[in-house]
């Protein structure tokens, strides 16, 4: 029997601490799927540490293009894969680790973003992956307008892919 994992778009959970990580939220989204029995650490790694090849190709293309605009494309000097605050999952820095939520993200001159993996325990869709973006310059808004369709497609796909494993 083939099991299709439906990814649902919804609001950021009220209890999520991601709402407190930025002065202003210029863009946000949340995607969730069915119950998951794995730990938040394992789910976070499944979502953000091992992208499919087509996403890796898109990220390389993105890095080639944004390098012209002096945006970050390389791993930072403090890069490490320890699963603790200050460590990284993929290219996302870990900012918070709590029992029910992990907050990751990155800051650049054009925008700052945070991603939350949140276990709400309130419904059959209890793992929620939320993104918030704060534009730091006008270019941040332009950049996000261009990448938004790709972002949505990629996030839905990596959430779905994580739950299939």
> What CATH number is given to the structural domain containing 91?
3.30.530
Residue 137 to residue 134: CA distance in whole angstroms: 9
pTM for this structure?
0.87
- With respect to residue 123, please indicate whether it lies within any of the assigned structural domains: yes
- With respect to residue 65, please indicate whether it lies within any of the assigned structural domains: yes
Residue in 31, 33, 39, 12 with CA at minimum distance from that of residue 99 = 39
CA atoms within 13 A on the CB side of 123: 9
- With respect to residue 147, please indicate whether it lies within any of the assigned structural domains: yes
| Over residues 8-28, mean pLDDT | 92
- With respect to residue 145, please indicate whether it lies within any of the assigned structural domains: yes
| Over residues 67-72, mean pLDDT | 80
Q: What's the number of domains the chain is made of? A: 1
Cβ atoms of residues 83 and 89 within 8 Å: yes
Residue 32 to residue 160: CA distance in whole angstroms: 9
SS3 26: coil
Query: Model confidence at 2, in pLDDT bands (50, 70, 90)?
Result: very low
Residue in 52, 76, 75, 63 with CA at minimum distance from that of residue 143 = 63
- With respect to residue 1, please indicate whether it lies within any of the assigned structural domains: no
User: What residues contact 137, with CB distance under 8 A and at least 6 apart?
Assistant: 109, 110, 111
User: What residues contact 42, with CB distance under 8 A and at least 6 apart?
Assistant: none
Residue 163 to residue 34: CA distance in whole angstroms: 8
Query: Model confidence at 75, in pLDDT bands (50, 70, 90)?
Result: confident
Residue 4 has a pLDDT of 52
- With respect to residue 20, please indicate whether it lies within any of the assigned structural domains: yes
- With respect to residue 2, please indicate whether it lies within any of the assigned structural domains: no
Domain range for 120 is: 8-164
- With respect to residue 3, please indicate whether it lies within any of the assigned structural domains: no
- Residue 37 backbone dihedrals phi, psi, to 5 degrees: -95, -10
């Amino acid at each position: 029997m083939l099991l299709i994992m439906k990814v649902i778009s919804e609001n950021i959970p009220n209890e999520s601490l991601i709402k407190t990580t930025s002065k202003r939220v210029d863009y946000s989204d949340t995607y969730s799927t069915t119950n998951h029995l794995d730990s938040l650490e394992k789910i976070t790694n499944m979502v953000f540490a091992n992208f499919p090849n087509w996403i890796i190709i898109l990220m390389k293309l993105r890095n080639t293009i944004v390098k012209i605009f002096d945006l970050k494309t390389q791993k930072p000097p403090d890069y490490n894969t320890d699963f603790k605050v200050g460590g990284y999952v993929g290219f996302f820095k870990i900012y918070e680790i709590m029992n029910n939520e992990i907050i990751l993200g990155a800051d650049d001159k054009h925008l700052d973003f945070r991603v939350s993996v949140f276990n709400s325990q309130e419904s059959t869709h209890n793992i929620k992956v939320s993104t918030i973006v704060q534009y730091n310059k006008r270019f941040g808004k332009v950049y996000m307008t261009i990448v938004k369709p790709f972002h949505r497609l990629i996030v839905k796909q990596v959430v779905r892919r994580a739950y299939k494993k």
